[in-house]
Amino acid sequence: MRDLLQEYDPEVFDAILGEERRQQSELELIPSENYTYPEVLAALGTVFTNKYSEGYPGNRYYGGQTYTDVIERLACARARELFGADHANVQALSGAAMNQVVYYALLEPGDSILAMDLTHGGHLTHGSPVSHMARVFQFHRYKAGADGRIDFDEVLRIAEQVRPKMILCGHSSYPRELDYSGFRRVADAVGALTMADVSHVGGLIAGGQLANPLEHGFDVVTTTTHKSLRGPRGGLILSKGEFAKKIDKSVFPGLQGGPHMHTIAAIAVALKKAAEPEFREYAARTLSNAQVLAGRLLEHGAQLVSGGTDNHLMVVNTVGSYGIEGRDAQKLLEEVGLATNKQLIPDDSLSAQRTSGVRLGTPAPTTRGMGAGEMTAVADLFVRALQNKGDSDGAEAIRSEVRALCARFPAPGPLLPTSA
């Protein structure tokens, strides 16, 4: 197959090869990225991409659904089993669509949603003013307190004031475990629905290492499938049985057309992997690696938002620690082969293009098999890269060390060796 592509379209083939080399020789520290399984890549590149299958198993709008039904039923059953959900929908194309589906399924335009402030760790699709959803629904905000933790007295105070129809928790840069019971209590006090977007920590919940909002009575839980869950790019909507029909109708025909059945096949494979004992061990190591990485950064005097982490990610205040804006820190780190992303810190005075920090996490290095020793080394390299800004020999030395580390821990997948 690769030979066929190489011969027919060398431009595309070379870009794929370039990306494979980049992924092998750089260390991925962006907490929302991961290296998926070769088995998932195999399921993705299949003839299921040829098929239209609007509707749901047993009730589609086109013929020829024998095998699409098998795949979708498998994926849904595995998702329900893994997360202990009454209902699962696996058709959402990715995170943004998945969250829109839930808002439209359970709310009316103009209804209010109480969600986390973006600079405190919330997500764009939780009603950022630049998203279309902010034009349809009224979003209100809660923030983390001065200690970097959510203050539930404050969340309740805001909820009593704005009377939201839905309370939404979940995050893309909040480094602490969420107290789902706390959100549940606030929601019960004001008669709101509860939704958790656990996209970042979906794999850590599936692996039994972090709390599962469904076990705390949440109505709906969403997660993308490609972050800590290590699957293909997609979205999973899990809910109580009473919302099943509304959610399914909201996906199709409400928001989407034909589901991407090749992706659903790959999601089914990833969910099978996530139910294996090895995945539990992976999730535990992702967390212990984050403890080591954060601990070593703190030993070096780095300022971490909230002073550390309970999950897989951390946010370094690079302005406070090194006098370097997030945008510049990201560039310096990329030059030495450490992939991070610029990140707003709580109430950041800089724009989202500049930012005062960078975000990093351990799902991808853990997939490569790295452990405590490597996390200590990565923290040391990170700090050297930022402390020695402008030292090109120093940067070259760090780049070589990163390359050597990556070569010792190859990324999985049909990827070339680093030297190729």
Please count the residues of this chain forming the interface with ligand DSN, following the rule CB under 6 A. 3
Instruction: Give yes or no for residue 95 binding ligand DSN (CB under 6 A).
Output: yes
For the question of residue 342 being annotated catalytic, the response is no
- From 20, 54, 335, 401, the catalytic residue: 54
Least CB distance to ligand DSN at residue 312 (A): 11
Instruction: Give yes or no for residue 119 binding ligand DSN (CB under 6 A).
Output: no
For the question of residue 227 being annotated catalytic, the response is yes
Least CB distance to ligand DSN at residue 183 (A): 20
Instruction: Give yes or no for residue 94 binding ligand DSN (CB under 6 A).
Output: no
Q: Bridge partners of 139? A: 113
Q: Which is nearer to ligand DSN, 55 or 326 (CB)?
A: 326
For 242, counting Cβ atoms within 10 Å of its Cβ (0-12 exposed, 13-18 middle, 19+ buried), the class is exposed
Ranges within 161-190 binding ligand DSN (CB under 6 A): 172
Least CB distance to ligand DSN at residue 313 (A): 9
CA 151 vs. chain centroid, Å, equals 24
Residue 363 CA neighbour count, 13 Å, CB half: 26
For the question of residue 69 being annotated catalytic, the response is no
Residue 173 CA to residue 305 CA, distance in Å, equals 10
Residue 363 CA to residue 34 CA, distance in Å, equals 6
For the question of residue 233 being annotated catalytic, the response is yes
Q: Which residue has the tokens 């405190």?
A: 120
- From 36, 224, 355, 367, the catalytic residue: 224
Question: 292 is written with which tokens?
Answer: 């080591």
Q: Which is nearer to ligand DSN, 32 or 355 (CB)?
A: 32
- From 21, 141, 233, 272, the catalytic residue: 233
Instruction: Give yes or no for residue 32 binding ligand DSN (CB under 6 A).
Output: yes
For the question of residue 142 being annotated catalytic, the response is no
Q: Which is nearer to ligand DSN, 53 or 366 (CB)?
A: 366
Q: Which is nearer to ligand DSN, 95 or 235 (CB)?
A: 95
Give all strands (DSSP E) within 245-356, no chain letters.
313-317, 338-339, 341-343
Least CB distance to ligand DSN at residue 172 (A): 3
- From 26, 72, 117, 197, the catalytic residue: 197
Give all strands (DSSP E) within 131-190, no chain letters.
138-142, 166-170
The 10 Å CB-count burial string (b at 16+, else e) for 297-335 is: beeeebbbbbebbbbbbbbbbbbebbebbbbbbbebbee
How large is the angle between the packed helices 392-408 and 326-335, nearest 10 degrees?
70
Catalytic annotation, residues = 52, 54, 197, 224, 227, 233
List residues binding ligand DSN (CB under 6 A). 32, 95, 172
